[in-house]
Amino acid sequence: MPIQDDLQAFLAEWHDPSPFLEVQTSGSTGTPKRMRVRKDRMLNSARLTCDYLGLKKGDKALLCMPLRYIAGKMMVVRSLYAGLDLEVREPSGHPLADWGDTPLRFAAMIPLQVYNTLRVPEERKRLEQTDILIIGGGAIDAALEQEIRQMPNTIYSTYGMTETLSHVALRRLNGPEASPYYHPFPSVTLSLSPDNTLVIDAPLVCDERLVTNDVARLLPDGSFAIIGRKDNIINSGGIKIQIEEVEERLRPYVDRPYAITAAPDPRLGETVVLLLASNLRGEMLTEALASLPKYLRPRHIIKVSEIPQTGSGKIDRAACRELARNIITKTL
């Protein structure tokens, strides 16, 4: 469905008498699910962002993400709350390809859109003329972040999820305020669970305290850094890939020790890697890869002496990631 049709459908649902609205999670903790959320909480979220960023009536904003997820919906709600002049583009890898000369005040993109935009000089110039850019929905590769640091506008990485109605914290990526730490909105209180995962208390947007799967380092001033995921999900170009699902699909075709892991990728944020404890016959490997949808197929296949294991004999996920990263880095 074209995004203009999606927009009209969303606005009709927004303006109907019900105080609730259905949203779909992105599947970052497994299978995507439908959630019912309060419209007044969405307005609270919009207010937090607009007030923090100083957005006001008439500011030109860009919607270039799908409206089935919270990120796209919240761009519309922010525009309704603050009276922004919202321009709508079909979601694509190059959202500024057909943009004119009018500078944007505010835009939100995923890392892949930013990466692609920076590869094209005309699009890069348009992005540099955008006053404020927020980036969410996926990991920002270190090389991309380094490139962003050189840009003249104001750029943030966001932290949040569907359950918090988009982001509850921002991290400045460039300029004198650039930081490795996310800073929550003033109304948000953070703590750590016994597993050192982030616990979010955001009463303006979420009814209950939310225990996340994100292992974090929490500083005395309330800022934080995400160390990694408690679960095993690869975020490749905004697509959430469950490691165990890929391994299970490969099981009928691979008769030796193997593991799926991830490695940093400058375009996708993360990419899927297959570690093999010994060589696999060419035809078996071809058949194994053909069994996977394209988005699940490993971009790197690495032969290793053994698959890292924990003391209890389970796959050591952290060690696999580190091994893949080191090997791929050496070959670049």
- Tell me, what's the pLDDT at 315? 82
HSE on the CB side for 82, CA within 13 Å?
Answer: 29
So where are the chain's domains? 3-186, 233-331
Query: Which residues, given as ranges, of the chain have pLDDT below 70?
Result: 26-32, 141, 310-314, 332
- Tell me, what's the pLDDT at 32? 65
- C-alpha span between 150 and 6 (Å, rounded): 36
Whether 60 contacts 102, CB under 8 Å: yes
Interior angle at CA 23, CA 19 and CA 27, nearest 5? 155
C-alpha separations of 126 from 55, 130, 151, 156, 195 in Å: 19, 7, 12, 17, 43
- Tell me, what's the pLDDT at 108? 98
Residue with the two structure tokens 């259905």:
22
Residue with the two structure tokens 């903790």:
29
- C-alpha span between 223 and 138 (Å, rounded): 20
Please count the residues of the chain: 332
Whether 190 contacts 214, CB under 8 Å: no
Q: What is the pTM of this model?
A: 0.74
**If one looks up domain 233-331 in CATH, what number appears?**
3.30.300.30
Retrieve residue 298's tokens.
Answer: 């490993």
- Tell me, what's the pLDDT at 196? 85
Torsion, CA 172, CA 177, CA 180, CA 184, rounded to 10: -60
CATH architecture under which domain 3-186 falls: 3-Layer(aba) Sandwich (3.40)
- Tell me, what's the pLDDT at 316? 86
- Tell me, what's the pLDDT at 96? 98
